[in-house]
Amino acid sequence: MSLGFRAKPNFTPVVLARGDAFIAVLHEVAPAEGVSVAQVALSWLLHQKHVAASSSGPNARCN
């Protein structure tokens, strides 16, 4: 089984920096709200106008 794109994602430095900044905010908000980082991320995702569904896999891990 090939992992394809997942084996070596092609993210630009700008995209990585934006992702890191977003994750940092999630880690600030979650404890302040008394919830997990995953809960904050899913809540944000589900409140976006153009998101039809969220996805996660059995190998995803957020604490």
Q: How far apart are CA 3 and CA 49, in angstroms?
A: 30
53 within domain boundaries: no
Q: Is the residue at 54 inside a domain? A: no
* Parent domain of 28: 12-46
Residue 25 lies in a domain: yes
* Runs of H (alpha helix) within 1-63: 13-33, 37-46
Tens digit of pLDDT per residue, the chain (63 long)?
Answer: 566 656 666 778 888 888 899 999 999 999 999 999 999 998 988 888 876 666 666 565 555
Instruction: HSE, CB side, 13 Å, CA atoms: give it for residue 31.
Output: 5
C-beta atoms surrounding 29 within 10 Å: 16
pTM: 0.60
Which pLDDT score is estimated for 2?
Answer: 62
